[in-house]
Amino acid sequence: MSSRAVIEEISADEILDSRGNPTVEVSVTLSSGVTVNASVPSGASTGEFEAVELRDRDPKRYGGKGVLCAVKHVNEEVAWALTGMRVDDQRLIDEKLIETDGSESKKVLGANAILGASLACAKAGAAESGLPLFRYLGGANAHVLPVPMFNVLNGGKHGQGGPDVQEFKLVPLGAPTFREALRYGAETYHALGAVLVDAGLSTNVGDEGGYVPQLPSNEAALELILRAIERAGYRPGEDIAIGIDPAANSFYEDGRYCLVRDSKTLTTDEMIAFWADWVNRYPLVSLEDPLADGDWAGFATLTRELGSRVQIVGDDLFVTNRKFLQRGIDEHCCNSILIKLNQIGTVTETLDTAQLALSAGYSCLVSHRSGETEDTSIADLAVALGCGQIKSGAPARGERVAKYNRLLAIERALGEDARFAGRDAFRHLRRS
Protein backbone atom coordinates (compact mmCIF):
# COMPACT_ATOMS: atom_id res chain seq x y z
CA MET A 1 0.00 0.00 0.00
CA SER A 2 1.38 3.35 -1.01
CA SER A 3 -0.36 6.70 -0.81
CA ARG A 4 2.30 8.07 -3.14
CA ALA A 5 0.75 6.45 -6.18
CA VAL A 6 0.29 8.86 -9.05
CA ILE A 7 -2.03 8.84 -12.02
CA GLU A 8 -0.14 7.25 -14.87
CA GLU A 9 -2.82 6.93 -17.48
CA ILE A 10 -6.37 8.16 -17.90
CA SER A 11 -8.55 7.34 -20.88
CA ALA A 12 -12.19 7.14 -21.85
CA ASP A 13 -14.55 5.14 -24.01
CA GLU A 14 -18.08 5.62 -25.33
CA ILE A 15 -20.37 2.97 -23.83
CA LEU A 16 -24.16 2.60 -23.60
CA ASP A 17 -26.43 3.47 -20.70
CA SER A 18 -29.57 1.60 -19.67
CA ARG A 19 -31.69 3.46 -22.24
CA GLY A 20 -29.34 2.57 -25.08
CA ASN A 21 -27.83 6.05 -25.24
CA PRO A 22 -24.08 6.66 -25.29
CA THR A 23 -22.31 7.68 -22.11
CA VAL A 24 -18.74 8.08 -20.88
CA GLU A 25 -16.64 5.42 -19.18
CA VAL A 26 -13.28 6.48 -17.77
CA SER A 27 -10.37 4.22 -16.91
CA VAL A 28 -7.55 5.30 -14.58
CA THR A 29 -4.26 3.45 -14.15
CA LEU A 30 -1.92 4.32 -11.29
CA SER A 31 1.86 4.04 -11.05
CA SER A 32 1.28 1.10 -8.68
CA GLY A 33 -0.53 -0.80 -11.44
CA VAL A 34 -4.03 -0.36 -9.99
CA THR A 35 -6.62 0.14 -12.75
CA VAL A 36 -10.28 1.08 -12.20
CA ASN A 37 -13.24 2.21 -14.29
CA ALA A 38 -16.07 4.59 -13.58
CA SER A 39 -19.07 5.40 -15.73
CA VAL A 40 -21.45 8.31 -15.86
CA PRO A 41 -25.27 8.28 -15.72
CA SER A 42 -27.65 10.55 -17.64
CA GLY A 43 -30.99 12.15 -16.73
CA ALA A 44 -34.16 12.73 -18.77
CA SER A 45 -36.03 15.16 -16.53
CA THR A 46 -33.08 17.44 -16.05
CA GLY A 47 -32.90 20.73 -14.16
CA GLU A 48 -32.15 23.88 -16.12
CA PHE A 49 -28.97 24.62 -14.17
CA GLU A 50 -27.36 21.20 -14.15
CA ALA A 51 -23.72 20.99 -15.22
CA VAL A 52 -23.64 20.51 -18.99
CA GLU A 53 -23.57 16.98 -20.39
CA LEU A 54 -21.59 17.28 -23.61
CA ARG A 55 -23.08 15.50 -26.63
CA ASP A 56 -21.71 15.42 -30.17
CA ARG A 57 -24.90 16.64 -31.90
CA ASP A 58 -23.88 14.65 -34.96
CA PRO A 59 -27.24 13.51 -36.35
CA LYS A 60 -25.56 10.60 -38.12
CA ARG A 61 -24.55 8.94 -34.84
CA TYR A 62 -27.00 7.91 -32.08
CA GLY A 63 -29.42 10.67 -33.07
CA GLY A 64 -26.88 13.31 -32.07
CA LYS A 65 -26.36 11.80 -28.61
CA GLY A 66 -22.83 10.46 -29.18
CA VAL A 67 -20.20 11.43 -26.59
CA LEU A 68 -17.03 11.12 -28.69
CA CYS A 69 -16.18 14.77 -27.99
CA ALA A 70 -16.35 14.18 -24.22
CA VAL A 71 -14.26 11.01 -24.65
CA LYS A 72 -11.68 13.01 -26.58
CA HIS A 73 -11.55 15.64 -23.84
CA VAL A 74 -10.71 12.93 -21.30
CA ASN A 75 -8.07 11.39 -23.56
CA GLU A 76 -6.47 14.76 -24.22
CA GLU A 77 -7.02 17.78 -21.90
CA VAL A 78 -7.94 15.74 -18.82
CA ALA A 79 -5.10 13.26 -19.31
CA TRP A 80 -2.61 16.11 -19.79
CA ALA A 81 -3.88 17.85 -16.66
CA LEU A 82 -4.05 14.87 -14.29
CA THR A 83 -1.18 12.63 -15.34
CA GLY A 84 1.48 12.62 -12.64
CA MET A 85 -0.85 13.90 -9.90
CA ARG A 86 -1.13 12.01 -6.63
CA VAL A 87 -4.33 10.03 -6.61
CA ASP A 88 -5.08 10.54 -2.92
CA ASP A 89 -5.69 14.28 -3.20
CA GLN A 90 -9.21 14.21 -4.59
CA ARG A 91 -9.85 17.89 -3.91
CA LEU A 92 -6.78 18.94 -5.85
CA ILE A 93 -7.73 16.61 -8.72
CA ASP A 94 -11.24 18.08 -8.85
CA GLU A 95 -9.92 21.65 -8.68
CA LYS A 96 -7.62 20.86 -11.57
CA LEU A 97 -10.55 19.51 -13.59
CA ILE A 98 -12.64 22.60 -12.84
CA GLU A 99 -9.74 24.91 -13.74
CA THR A 100 -8.99 23.04 -16.96
CA ASP A 101 -12.61 23.36 -18.01
CA GLY A 102 -12.71 27.01 -16.98
CA SER A 103 -16.48 27.52 -17.31
CA GLU A 104 -19.16 27.82 -14.62
CA SER A 105 -21.31 25.06 -16.15
CA LYS A 106 -18.51 22.64 -17.17
CA LYS A 107 -19.63 23.01 -20.76
CA VAL A 108 -16.12 23.13 -22.22
CA LEU A 109 -14.87 19.64 -21.33
CA GLY A 110 -18.39 18.43 -20.48
CA ALA A 111 -19.64 17.41 -17.04
CA ASN A 112 -19.80 13.83 -18.31
CA ALA A 113 -16.06 13.90 -19.09
CA ILE A 114 -15.25 15.63 -15.80
CA LEU A 115 -17.37 13.40 -13.56
CA GLY A 116 -16.04 10.26 -15.24
CA ALA A 117 -12.50 11.38 -14.45
CA SER A 118 -13.29 12.59 -10.93
CA LEU A 119 -15.13 9.41 -9.98
CA ALA A 120 -12.54 7.11 -11.53
CA CYS A 121 -9.82 8.89 -9.53
CA ALA A 122 -11.83 8.49 -6.31
CA LYS A 123 -12.28 4.79 -7.00
CA ALA A 124 -8.59 4.43 -7.84
CA GLY A 125 -7.65 6.25 -4.63
CA ALA A 126 -9.84 3.86 -2.66
CA ALA A 127 -8.41 0.79 -4.38
CA GLU A 128 -4.87 2.07 -3.85
CA SER A 129 -5.40 2.54 -0.13
CA GLY A 130 -7.06 -0.85 0.18
CA LEU A 131 -10.34 0.64 1.35
CA PRO A 132 -13.86 0.22 0.03
CA LEU A 133 -15.11 3.43 -1.60
CA PHE A 134 -17.62 4.19 1.20
CA ARG A 135 -14.83 4.16 3.79
CA TYR A 136 -12.37 6.08 1.61
CA LEU A 137 -14.95 8.85 1.07
CA GLY A 138 -16.71 8.67 4.43
CA GLY A 139 -13.97 7.83 6.92
CA ALA A 140 -13.94 5.68 10.02
CA ASN A 141 -17.50 6.45 11.07
CA ALA A 142 -19.27 5.49 7.84
CA HIS A 143 -21.66 2.77 9.01
CA VAL A 144 -25.26 3.86 8.32
CA LEU A 145 -27.18 1.96 5.62
CA PRO A 146 -29.70 4.11 3.78
CA VAL A 147 -33.44 3.55 3.53
CA PRO A 148 -33.96 2.57 -0.12
CA MET A 149 -36.77 4.29 -2.01
CA PHE A 150 -38.09 1.92 -4.66
CA ASN A 151 -39.68 3.63 -7.64
CA VAL A 152 -42.32 1.00 -8.41
CA LEU A 153 -44.74 3.04 -10.52
CA ASN A 154 -43.34 5.29 -13.26
CA GLY A 155 -44.89 8.16 -15.16
CA GLY A 156 -43.94 11.52 -16.62
CA LYS A 157 -40.85 11.44 -18.82
CA HIS A 158 -39.88 7.97 -17.60
CA GLY A 159 -43.10 6.20 -18.48
CA GLN A 160 -45.12 7.43 -21.44
CA GLY A 161 -48.84 6.77 -20.96
CA GLY A 162 -48.45 6.55 -17.18
CA PRO A 163 -49.38 9.14 -14.55
CA ASP A 164 -48.19 12.77 -14.72
CA VAL A 165 -46.35 12.16 -11.45
CA GLN A 166 -42.97 10.74 -12.45
CA GLU A 167 -42.23 8.49 -9.46
CA PHE A 168 -44.25 6.64 -6.85
CA LYS A 169 -41.83 5.07 -4.38
CA LEU A 170 -42.04 2.46 -1.63
CA VAL A 171 -40.13 3.61 1.46
CA PRO A 172 -39.61 0.59 3.76
CA LEU A 173 -38.60 2.65 6.77
CA GLY A 174 -39.98 0.15 9.29
CA ALA A 175 -37.56 -2.60 8.29
CA PRO A 176 -34.91 -3.56 10.85
CA THR A 177 -32.03 -3.82 8.36
CA PHE A 178 -31.20 -2.88 4.80
CA ARG A 179 -31.46 -6.51 3.75
CA GLU A 180 -34.99 -6.70 5.13
CA ALA A 181 -35.88 -3.36 3.55
CA LEU A 182 -34.85 -4.81 0.20
CA ARG A 183 -37.07 -7.83 0.80
CA TYR A 184 -40.04 -5.63 1.82
CA GLY A 185 -39.54 -3.64 -1.39
CA ALA A 186 -39.15 -6.60 -3.74
CA GLU A 187 -42.15 -8.45 -2.28
CA THR A 188 -44.34 -5.38 -2.52
CA TYR A 189 -43.14 -4.68 -6.07
CA HIS A 190 -44.29 -8.15 -7.04
CA ALA A 191 -47.56 -7.71 -5.13
CA LEU A 192 -48.13 -4.50 -7.10
CA GLY A 193 -47.61 -6.46 -10.30
CA ALA A 194 -50.31 -8.91 -9.17
CA VAL A 195 -52.66 -6.05 -8.21
CA LEU A 196 -52.23 -4.58 -11.69
CA VAL A 197 -52.89 -7.91 -13.40
CA ASP A 198 -56.05 -8.38 -11.30
CA ALA A 199 -57.21 -4.92 -12.35
CA GLY A 200 -56.54 -5.71 -16.01
CA LEU A 201 -53.76 -3.11 -16.18
CA SER A 202 -50.41 -3.27 -17.94
CA THR A 203 -47.29 -4.46 -16.14
CA ASN A 204 -44.89 -3.00 -18.70
CA VAL A 205 -42.10 -1.12 -16.98
CA GLY A 206 -40.56 2.33 -17.44
CA ASP A 207 -37.00 3.62 -17.45
CA GLU A 208 -36.45 3.00 -13.75
CA GLY A 209 -38.11 -0.42 -13.61
CA GLY A 210 -41.46 0.69 -12.16
CA TYR A 211 -44.74 -0.36 -13.78
CA VAL A 212 -46.40 2.11 -16.15
CA PRO A 213 -50.16 1.48 -15.97
CA GLN A 214 -52.69 3.74 -17.70
CA LEU A 215 -54.71 5.14 -14.82
CA PRO A 216 -57.78 7.38 -14.61
CA SER A 217 -56.04 9.75 -12.18
CA ASN A 218 -52.72 10.32 -10.42
CA GLU A 219 -54.30 9.41 -7.11
CA ALA A 220 -55.27 5.99 -8.46
CA ALA A 221 -51.56 5.11 -8.31
CA LEU A 222 -51.51 5.72 -4.56
CA GLU A 223 -54.54 3.49 -4.06
CA LEU A 224 -52.92 0.64 -6.04
CA ILE A 225 -49.71 0.98 -4.03
CA LEU A 226 -51.58 0.89 -0.71
CA ARG A 227 -53.32 -2.27 -1.92
CA ALA A 228 -49.97 -3.80 -2.88
CA ILE A 229 -48.40 -2.98 0.49
CA GLU A 230 -51.28 -4.71 2.27
CA ARG A 231 -51.32 -7.63 -0.14
CA ALA A 232 -47.64 -8.22 0.61
CA GLY A 233 -48.49 -8.33 4.32
CA TYR A 234 -47.11 -4.95 5.40
CA ARG A 235 -48.65 -1.98 7.22
CA PRO A 236 -48.80 1.23 5.17
CA GLY A 237 -46.98 4.02 6.97
CA GLU A 238 -45.53 1.76 9.66
CA ASP A 239 -43.58 -0.81 7.66
CA ILE A 240 -43.67 0.87 4.28
CA ALA A 241 -44.43 4.53 3.63
CA ILE A 242 -44.69 6.26 0.25
CA GLY A 243 -42.52 8.85 -1.45
CA ILE A 244 -43.32 10.70 -4.66
CA ASP A 245 -41.36 12.71 -7.19
CA PRO A 246 -43.82 14.59 -9.39
CA ALA A 247 -40.88 16.26 -11.23
CA ALA A 248 -43.28 19.17 -11.61
CA ASN A 249 -41.19 20.89 -14.29
CA SER A 250 -42.37 18.24 -16.71
CA PHE A 251 -46.02 19.33 -16.46
CA TYR A 252 -45.51 23.06 -15.92
CA GLU A 253 -46.60 25.17 -18.90
CA ASP A 254 -47.16 28.91 -19.15
CA GLY A 255 -47.25 29.39 -15.40
CA ARG A 256 -49.71 26.56 -14.75
CA TYR A 257 -49.45 22.92 -13.65
CA CYS A 258 -51.23 20.74 -16.22
CA LEU A 259 -52.20 17.36 -14.79
CA VAL A 260 -53.43 15.53 -17.88
CA ARG A 261 -54.56 12.41 -15.98
CA ASP A 262 -56.70 14.53 -13.67
CA SER A 263 -57.88 16.93 -16.41
CA LYS A 264 -56.75 19.78 -14.17
CA THR A 265 -54.81 22.98 -14.74
CA LEU A 266 -53.62 24.43 -11.43
CA THR A 267 -52.03 27.64 -10.15
CA THR A 268 -49.12 27.37 -7.70
CA ASP A 269 -51.47 27.81 -4.72
CA GLU A 270 -53.83 25.17 -6.07
CA MET A 271 -50.91 22.81 -6.71
CA ILE A 272 -49.77 23.28 -3.09
CA ALA A 273 -53.31 22.55 -1.88
CA PHE A 274 -53.34 19.42 -4.07
CA TRP A 275 -50.19 18.08 -2.39
CA ALA A 276 -51.41 19.10 1.07
CA ASP A 277 -54.52 17.01 0.48
CA TRP A 278 -52.37 13.99 -0.41
CA VAL A 279 -50.17 14.51 2.66
CA ASN A 280 -53.35 14.58 4.79
CA ARG A 281 -54.79 11.39 3.36
CA TYR A 282 -51.83 9.14 2.50
CA PRO A 283 -48.71 7.93 4.36
CA LEU A 284 -46.42 10.20 2.36
CA VAL A 285 -42.99 10.82 3.85
CA SER A 286 -41.14 12.39 0.93
CA LEU A 287 -42.25 14.88 -1.71
CA GLU A 288 -39.65 15.80 -4.35
CA ASP A 289 -39.86 18.64 -6.87
CA PRO A 290 -43.55 19.29 -6.11
CA LEU A 291 -43.30 22.63 -7.95
CA ALA A 292 -41.39 23.88 -10.98
CA ASP A 293 -37.76 24.81 -10.41
CA GLY A 294 -38.11 28.58 -10.90
CA ASP A 295 -40.86 28.86 -8.32
CA TRP A 296 -38.81 29.81 -5.23
CA ALA A 297 -41.68 31.72 -3.63
CA GLY A 298 -43.98 28.75 -4.14
CA PHE A 299 -41.41 26.43 -2.55
CA ALA A 300 -41.14 28.76 0.47
CA THR A 301 -44.93 28.73 0.92
CA LEU A 302 -45.15 24.97 0.48
CA THR A 303 -42.29 24.38 2.95
CA ARG A 304 -43.96 26.66 5.50
CA GLU A 305 -47.25 24.80 5.14
CA LEU A 306 -46.07 21.19 4.87
CA GLY A 307 -42.42 21.10 5.96
CA SER A 308 -43.11 19.86 9.48
CA ARG A 309 -45.11 16.90 8.19
CA VAL A 310 -43.26 15.69 5.12
CA GLN A 311 -39.77 15.74 3.67
CA ILE A 312 -39.65 18.25 0.80
CA VAL A 313 -36.78 17.44 -1.53
CA GLY A 314 -35.22 19.88 -3.99
CA ASP A 315 -33.85 18.13 -7.06
CA ASP A 316 -34.18 20.33 -10.17
CA LEU A 317 -34.40 23.30 -7.77
CA PHE A 318 -30.93 22.77 -6.25
CA VAL A 319 -29.16 20.63 -8.91
CA THR A 320 -26.65 19.48 -6.23
CA ASN A 321 -25.15 22.97 -6.41
CA ARG A 322 -24.07 24.82 -3.25
CA LYS A 323 -25.12 28.14 -4.69
CA PHE A 324 -28.74 27.11 -5.25
CA LEU A 325 -28.85 25.18 -1.99
CA GLN A 326 -27.63 28.26 -0.10
CA ARG A 327 -30.45 30.29 -1.64
CA GLY A 328 -32.88 27.58 -0.54
CA ILE A 329 -31.53 27.67 3.01
CA ASP A 330 -31.75 31.48 3.08
CA GLU A 331 -35.28 31.53 1.72
CA HIS A 332 -36.51 28.47 3.65
CA CYS A 333 -37.24 26.39 0.57
CA CYS A 334 -37.40 22.58 1.14
CA ASN A 335 -35.89 20.66 4.02
CA SER A 336 -34.02 18.09 1.94
CA ILE A 337 -31.84 17.90 -1.17
CA LEU A 338 -31.42 15.28 -3.85
CA ILE A 339 -27.75 14.41 -4.39
CA LYS A 340 -26.74 13.51 -7.95
CA LEU A 341 -23.03 13.47 -8.81
CA ASN A 342 -23.53 14.37 -12.45
CA GLN A 343 -25.64 17.43 -11.72
CA ILE A 344 -22.56 19.18 -10.37
CA GLY A 345 -19.80 17.12 -11.96
CA THR A 346 -17.11 16.32 -9.38
CA VAL A 347 -16.92 14.15 -6.29
CA THR A 348 -15.69 16.87 -3.91
CA GLU A 349 -18.27 19.43 -5.01
CA THR A 350 -20.92 16.76 -4.37
CA LEU A 351 -19.52 16.13 -0.88
CA ASP A 352 -19.40 19.89 -0.22
CA THR A 353 -23.05 20.34 -1.19
CA ALA A 354 -24.14 17.40 0.96
CA GLN A 355 -22.10 18.75 3.88
CA LEU A 356 -23.72 22.17 3.58
CA ALA A 357 -27.16 20.54 3.50
CA LEU A 358 -26.56 18.37 6.55
CA SER A 359 -25.07 21.24 8.54
CA ALA A 360 -28.14 23.35 7.77
CA GLY A 361 -30.44 20.58 9.01
CA TYR A 362 -31.50 19.44 5.53
CA SER A 363 -31.60 15.73 4.80
CA CYS A 364 -29.83 14.28 1.75
CA LEU A 365 -31.31 11.73 -0.63
CA VAL A 366 -28.61 10.17 -2.83
CA SER A 367 -29.93 9.40 -6.30
CA HIS A 368 -29.34 7.49 -9.50
CA ARG A 369 -30.38 8.94 -12.89
CA SER A 370 -33.03 7.52 -15.19
CA GLY A 371 -30.24 6.56 -17.63
CA GLU A 372 -27.84 4.40 -15.60
CA THR A 373 -24.86 2.07 -15.91
CA GLU A 374 -23.52 -0.80 -13.82
CA ASP A 375 -21.43 1.67 -11.79
CA THR A 376 -22.45 1.32 -8.12
CA SER A 377 -20.62 4.33 -6.65
CA ILE A 378 -23.82 5.98 -5.41
CA ALA A 379 -24.37 3.11 -2.97
CA ASP A 380 -20.98 3.84 -1.42
CA LEU A 381 -21.66 7.57 -1.51
CA ALA A 382 -24.87 7.14 0.50
CA VAL A 383 -23.04 5.18 3.19
CA ALA A 384 -20.10 7.60 3.12
CA LEU A 385 -22.44 10.54 3.79
CA GLY A 386 -24.34 8.62 6.47
CA CYS A 387 -27.41 10.48 5.22
CA GLY A 388 -29.74 7.50 5.49
CA GLN A 389 -31.54 7.69 2.14
CA ILE A 390 -31.02 6.47 -1.43
CA LYS A 391 -33.19 6.07 -4.50
CA SER A 392 -32.13 3.73 -7.28
CA GLY A 393 -35.38 2.81 -8.98
CA ALA A 394 -37.45 -0.34 -8.68
CA PRO A 395 -36.02 -3.56 -7.24
CA ALA A 396 -35.81 -4.72 -10.86
CA ARG A 397 -33.52 -4.12 -13.89
CA GLY A 398 -29.82 -4.87 -13.53
CA GLU A 399 -28.52 -1.31 -13.44
CA ARG A 400 -30.96 -0.43 -10.58
CA VAL A 401 -30.48 -3.62 -8.59
CA ALA A 402 -26.68 -3.37 -8.85
CA LYS A 403 -26.78 -0.46 -6.39
CA TYR A 404 -29.04 -2.32 -3.96
CA ASN A 405 -26.85 -5.41 -4.21
CA ARG A 406 -23.80 -3.27 -3.48
CA LEU A 407 -25.53 -2.01 -0.33
CA LEU A 408 -26.14 -5.62 0.71
CA ALA A 409 -22.41 -6.25 0.34
CA ILE A 410 -21.56 -3.15 2.36
CA GLU A 411 -24.00 -4.18 5.10
CA ARG A 412 -22.45 -7.64 5.16
CA ALA A 413 -18.93 -6.23 5.32
CA LEU A 414 -19.85 -3.88 8.20
CA GLY A 415 -21.33 -6.78 10.15
CA GLU A 416 -22.33 -5.76 13.68
CA ASP A 417 -21.31 -2.16 13.03
CA ALA A 418 -23.97 -1.67 10.38
CA ARG A 419 -26.96 0.42 11.35
CA PHE A 420 -30.06 0.81 9.17
CA ALA A 421 -31.29 4.41 9.15
CA GLY A 422 -35.00 3.47 9.26
CA ARG A 423 -37.44 6.16 10.43
CA ASP A 424 -34.60 8.27 11.81
CA ALA A 425 -33.67 9.17 8.25
CA PHE A 426 -36.77 11.38 8.21
CA ARG A 427 -36.55 14.31 10.62
CA HIS A 428 -40.27 14.82 10.91
CA LEU A 429 -40.76 11.19 11.98
CA ARG A 430 -38.05 11.07 14.63
CA ARG A 431 -39.40 10.09 18.00
CA SER A 432 -37.48 12.31 20.39
Active site residues: 208, 340
CA 315 to chain centre: 9
Q: Could you tell me the maximum CA-CA distance found in the chain, to the nearest angstrom? A: 63
For ligand PGA, which stretch binds (CB under 6 A), given 37-45, 113-121, 293-301, 352-360?
37-45
Identified binder of Zn ion from the candidate list 315, 349, 372, 399, rule CB under 5 A? 315
Q: How many residues bind Zn ion (CB under 5 A)?
A: 4
Q: Taking the complex as a whole, how short is the minimal distance between the CB of residue 206 and ligand PGA, in angstroms?
A: 11
158 annotated as a binding-site residue: yes
- 313 SS3 class: strand
Q: How far is CA 291 from CA 161, 259, 412, in A?
A: 21, 12, 39
* 219 contacts ligand PGA (rule: CB under 6 A): no
Q: How far is CA 1 from CA 125, 140, 169, 277, 288, in A?
A: 11, 18, 42, 57, 43
In 35-49, which positions are buried (b, 16+ CB within 10 angstroms) versus exposed (e)? ebbbbbbbbbbbbeb
Q: Which of 426, 430, 412 is nearest to 178 (CA)?
A: 412
Q: Which run of H or E residues covers position 10?
A: strand 7-16
46 binds, options Zn ion, ligand PGA, none, Cβ within 5 to 8 A by partner type = ligand PGA
* 73 contacts ligand PGA (rule: CB under 6 A): no
* 45 contacts ligand PGA (rule: CB under 6 A): yes
9 annotated as a binding-site residue: no
* 373 contacts ligand PGA (rule: CB under 6 A): no
> Who contacts 20 (Cβ-Cβ below 8 Å, separation ≥6)?
none
**What residues from 221 to 250 belong to the interface with ligand PGA (CB under 6 A)?**
245, 247
DSSP H helices in 199-263: 219-231
209 binds, options Zn ion, ligand PGA, none, Cβ within 5 to 8 A by partner type = none
- Residue placing its CB nearer to ligand PGA in the complex, 55 or 143: 55
* 207 contacts Zn ion (rule: CB under 5 A): no
- Residue placing its CB nearer to Zn ion in the complex, 94 or 315: 315
Identified binder of Zn ion from the candidate list 245, 293, 295, 375, rule CB under 5 A? 245
370 annotated as a binding-site residue: yes
Identified binder of ligand PGA from the candidate list 22, 43, 185, 236, rule CB under 6 A? 43
315 annotated as a binding-site residue: yes
Which DSSP category does 44 fall into? S
14 annotated as a binding-site residue: no
- Closest CB to ligand PGA belongs to which residue? 43
Q: How far is CA 294 from CA 5, 134, 289, 360, in A?
A: 45, 34, 11, 22
User: Is the distance from CB of 275 to CB of 269 less than 8 angstroms?
Assistant: no
Q: Which of 3, 59, 108, 75 is nearest to 345 (CA)?
A: 108
* 112 contacts ligand PGA (rule: CB under 6 A): no
60 annotated as a binding-site residue: no
Give the strands of the sheet with 35-39, arranged side by side.
Answer: 7-16, 22-30, 35-39
> Who contacts 330 (Cβ-Cβ below 8 Å, separation ≥6)?
none
For ligand PGA, which stretch binds (CB under 6 A), given 172-180, 215-223, 367-375, 422-430?
367-375
Q: How many residues bind ligand PGA (CB under 6 A)?
A: 10
- Residue placing its CB nearer to ligand PGA in the complex, 249 or 303: 249
Q: Which of 289, 283, 269, 273 is nearest to 365 (CA)?
A: 289
Q: Taking the complex as a whole, how short is the minimal distance between the CB of residue 338 and ligand PGA, in angstroms?
A: 6
Dump the DSSP string for 45-67. S--TTSPP------TTSGGGT--
143 annotated as a binding-site residue: no
Q: Taking the complex as a whole, how short is the minimal distance between the CB of residue 90 and Zn ion, in angstroms?
A: 26
- Residue placing its CB nearer to Zn ion in the complex, 116 or 314: 314
Dump the DSSP string for 341-357. HHHH-SHHHHHHHHHHH
Q: Which of 96, 92, 87, 75 is nearest to 7 (CA)?
A: 87
368 annotated as a binding-site residue: yes
Q: Taking the complex as a whole, how short is the minimal distance between the CB of residue 29 and ligand PGA, in angstroms?
A: 30
* 399 contacts Zn ion (rule: CB under 5 A): no
Annotated binding-site members:
158, 166-167, 245, 288, 315, 340, 367-370, 391
**Interacting residues toward Zn ion by CB under 5 A:** 245, 288-289, 315
**Interacting residues toward ligand PGA by CB under 6 A:** 43-46, 245, 247, 315, 367, 369-370
Annotated binding-site members for (2R)-2-phosphoglycerate:
166, 340, 369-370, 391
